[in-house]
Structure 1
């Protein structure tokens, strides 16, 4: 379920003052609609710069997502916006990220953004997994795998993002080709098999209009995809069909139903193709 969003103006004065110790007095505040984990999400400017702020109350049930993002951020150079500062004040945990230029990736068939996302996932695959506390992919999928033995396919030692929603990928058209895309929102960073992020991307590609075979061809642009056994990919597709069935049943919005249909279509393709 999405977290209820509030405006930055509703922060306690002490928390706002703590932010402005890093930014200086804020000149503009643009609340952002994307994302589901944060109570505070805004792009702010002052005379000294521009930042994207994410925040949760320190007693929020998902405040662990703030801790996760702060812990993984130093290891994501060239993959994600830099974390410039962190504030814990007046009952709030607030992260100040570098504000990136660009648009949300377009995953539709034929989009020029697809090659940039593939390049981004290749770079992520070459990044060492930091020695920090992360959930394991096989733990996250334990309740959803068709067979317990399938979990062995998901285990690994690689750093994964796991939420390949196109709104989490920013593409800067002014940057060098092949290095234009960045991943935001690392709350669900996970340790697991190297090929899983390519698999998560497949589901979002199908939801954006690709046939399952076309989506898998894009996944094949990621070298780690070729390390995955065919039965492992099929097991992953089945597990995610169960994940999205549960999500869409609990929260039947158009986008969750679209993702559930995409995951089901991929699962059917794997089992019959």
Structure 2
């Protein structure tokens, strides 16, 4: 369920002052519509620069997402935005990131963004998983498949796990193959290297791909070829159950679309 978004102007004065200690007086504040974890999400500018600010009350049930993003950020060079500062003040936890200029990735069939996303996932697959506290993929999925299948999801690799196209920004300023970046690392996870390609499959199907087409794009990621066929099928089953649960609890067009995509993938895996 989405966290209720509030404006930056509703921060306590001490918290606002802590932000401006880093930025200087704010000239513009553009509230961000995307994202579900943050109460504060805004792009701000001052005389000294531009930042993306994310924030939650320190006692919010999802306060752990702020801690996770702060912990993982130093290890994401070339993959995500740099974290420049963190303030825990006046009951708030606030993160200040560099702004990534770009647009949301287009996952539709034939999109020129698809090779860029594949390249991004290849780079992520080559990134060592840091020795920080992260949930394990098999823990996250343990209620959605039979226990023996959890072995397929375990591994030592760094995963993003939320391949919503709104979390992938594509810019035109970089060289081809290095234009995409991942934002919102709150659900960073440790697990089998091929799982992010699997998460991408579901979003590709939701964007109009057939399961066959989506798996062809997953196959552009080298780690995909390390996955046993029965492991992929187990992962598809797990996600069909995850999205069925989410869409039942929060039935809106986008959750239902993802539930349909995950179900279509699992049906393909069972019969293909």
In structure 2, the residue matched to 1:190 is: 189
In structure 2, the residue matched to 1:178 is: 177
What 5-or-longer segments of structure 1 have no aligned partner? none
CA distance in 2, matches of 1:8, 1:22: 15
| TM-score calculated relative to the size of structure 1 | 0.99
In structure 2, the residue matched to 1:78 is: 78
Q: Once the 2 structures are TM-superposed, how far is the Cα of residue 162 of structure 1 from its aligned partner?
A: 0.1
Q: Which residues in structure 2 correspond to 1:1-273 (within 5 Å)?
A: 1-145=1-145, 147-273=146-272
CA distance in 2, matches of 1:95, 1:258: 31
Q: Once the 2 structures are TM-superposed, how far is the Cα of residue 137 of structure 1 from its aligned partner?
A: 0.1
What 5-or-longer segments of structure 2 have no aligned partner? none
CA distance in 2, matches of 1:196, 1:229: 12
Q: Once the 2 structures are TM-superposed, how far is the Cα of residue 173 of structure 1 from its aligned partner?
A: 1.4
Q: How many pairs does the alignment contain?
A: 272
| TM-score calculated relative to the size of structure 2 | 1.00
CA distance in 1, matches of 2:238, 2:85: 37
CA distance in 2, matches of 1:230, 1:173: 36
> Deviation string for 1:93-116 (max 9, x for gaps)?
000000010100000000000000
Secondary structure of 1:132's counterpart equals: coil
CA distance in 2, matches of 1:28, 1:46: 7
> Deviation string for 1:214-253 (max 9, x for gaps)?
0000000000000000000000000000000000000001
Secondary structure of 1:186's counterpart equals: coil
CA distance in 1, matches of 2:115, 2:83: 26
> Deviation string for 1:160-204 (max 9, x for gaps)?
000000000000012111000000000000000000000000000
Secondary structure of 1:84's counterpart equals: strand
Q: Once the 2 structures are TM-superposed, how far is the Cα of residue 73 of structure 1 from its aligned partner?
A: 0.3
CA distance in 2, matches of 1:37, 1:102: 21
CA distance in 2, matches of 1:256, 1:158: 27
CA distance in 2, matches of 1:253, 1:80: 29
Secondary structure of 2:94's counterpart equals: strand
Secondary structure of 1:174's counterpart equals: coil
Q: After the TM superposition, which parts of structure 1 deviate over 3 Å for at least 4 consecutive aligned residues?
A: none
Secondary structure of 1:80's counterpart equals: coil
Secondary structure of 1:164's counterpart equals: coil
Secondary structure of 1:175's counterpart equals: coil
CA distance in 2, matches of 1:58, 1:150: 36
